[in-house]
Amino acid sequence: MSTSPDVRRETRPSSAVAIDVAAVRRDFPILSRQVHGRPLVYLDNAASSQKPRSVIEAERSLYEGYYANVHRGVHSLSMESTDAYEAGRVKAQAFLNAASTREIIFTRGTTEAINLVAATFGRSRVGAGDEVLVSGLEHHSNIVPWQMLCEEKGARLRSVPINDDGEVILEELERLLTPRTRILGMAHVSNALGTINPVAQIVEMAHARGVPVLLDGAQAAPHVAVDVQAMGCDFYAFSGHKIYGPSGIGVLYGKASLLEEMPPYQGGGDMILSVSFEKTTYNELPYKFEAGTPNIAGVVGLGAALDWVTGIGLDRIAAHEHALLEYGTARLLEIPGLRIIGTAREKAAVLSFVMDGVHPHDMGTVLDYEGVAVRTGHHCAQPVMERFGVPATTRASLAVYNTKQEIDVLVAGIEKAREMFA
């Protein structure tokens, strides 16, 4: 798998048993609520997904049963909390197939994970005249931290263009990987368009030039199986809240050899072995990068979310979502004046579209009154919007609990908006 150019394998399983969507939906208490008198149709999963009961329960039982600070006390609650916290790390390690728990660092989310790498690895590796490379698909969180670094260092941020389908142009990547490139930042899956990048191939291309790679997995982790060793990436980041877990918690995977040489991100408690006014000795991995009392409940909740996802199986989740994507794509294309933005061959469950005569904001408001939650705007990916010459899109992003019936409600809502405005 180390040289396999894509992750199609994970997105198109043929042997998977179909999931029981009704049972899945019963796991999510919020899905039974109504919005403006209509059943909630939650299609804003790329922004944040809803939480299964097991995640809510995990946090509740922590707080009701054994909560205390971690890595500190000799008392029972502290030890129980520490065990639960570190169990979350083991689950994250297994989920990503990382070689060691030393390579799993908890952050506030993908954004902080990327900032951590830019501020430590980036700051020690990037100098004046150097280049940092990203793609034209990136979320602002995989642009701005590098831009700040480049400004500070007098380096140059460059981006690999994308084609009309929203795919990274690999010939351009090849050309832009120069002797000055110090790191490549790339989305595994695009948040605005759903494009699944051929990350194993991209990592191989970068490594051939000696360029380390950070993959932004915020939109990938909930939808495709992730294996950091098979992909070969140097860093991988994802967020808890998009994978049915709590907000405010995320994971940075980094190769131990790189993490060892990186300076700490923040100073404080937990990240030290000993402190005097003359000298501080930093803690071992991964604690070197986890200053202060961490998000204990977040990690416990994330662990429960990863258990839940693993229990269903990412191959089955991907198969379900892919079927919905195909159905949704076909249904949307029936609507006159509607254009789907992002038509990559390999795509996760994102339907981003524009419609003649109906501004996305109006679309979003009308759909809300049908009970349908979608994202409208630039999706924190303004360069992507510019590339396609649109100020904004409406984005329906799917998750394991969505159904074809919900797609039908979306389509009916779009038709209603068209009648009103177009």
Partner 1 sequence: MSSELRELYQEVILDHSKRPRNFRELPAATGRAEGYNPLCGDRATVYVELEGDRVKDVSFKGAGCSISTASASMMTEALKGKTRAEADALFDRFHRRAAENVAPELGKLAAFSGVCEFPVRVKCASLPWHTLRSALEGEAARVSTEETEASRGDADGKTRPEGSS
- The site for partner 1 (CB under 8 A) is made up of 36-37, 46-48, 139, 141, 191-192, 218-219, 357, 359-362, 365-366, 369, 375-381, 385, 390-392, 416, 420-421
Cα three-residue angle 211-185-125, rounded to 5 degrees: 50
Cis preceding-peptide flag for 222 (omega within 30 of 0): no
Nearer to partner 1, 93 or 219 (CB): 219
Q: SS3 for 79?
A: helix
Kindly state the smallest distance separating residue 244's Cβ from partner 1, in Å.
15
Kindly state the smallest distance separating residue 356's Cβ from partner 1, in Å.
12
Active site residue 380: yes
Of how many residues is the chain composed? 422
Residue 97 CB neighbour total at 10 angstroms? 14
The answer for residues whose C-beta is within 8 angstroms of residue 89's C-beta and 6 or more apart is: 101, 104, 106, 286, 299
The closest of 93, 100, 105, 82 to 288, measured between CA atoms, is 105
Kindly state the smallest distance separating residue 143's Cβ from partner 1, in Å.
12
Kindly state the smallest distance separating residue 206's Cβ from partner 1, in Å.
24
Cα three-residue angle 283-284-289, rounded to 5 degrees: 70
Nearer to partner 1, 66 or 369 (CB): 369
Nearer to partner 1, 65 or 337 (CB): 337
Give the pair of three-digit tokens for residue 239.
Answer: 């967020």
Nearer to partner 1, 24 or 341 (CB): 341
Kindly state the smallest distance separating residue 422's Cβ from partner 1, in Å.
9
Nearer to partner 1, 211 or 220 (CB): 220
Question: Which of 380, 385, 400, 407 is an active site residue?
Answer: 380
Residues 240 and 111: their CA atoms lie apart, in Å, by 12
Cα 233 to chain centroid, rounded:
15
Give CA torsion, residues 375, 380, 384, 387, to 10 deg.
Answer: 100
Residues 185 and 216: their CA atoms lie apart, in Å, by 7
The answer for residues whose C-beta is within 8 angstroms of residue 388's C-beta and 6 or more apart is: 166, 341
Catalytic machinery residues: 380
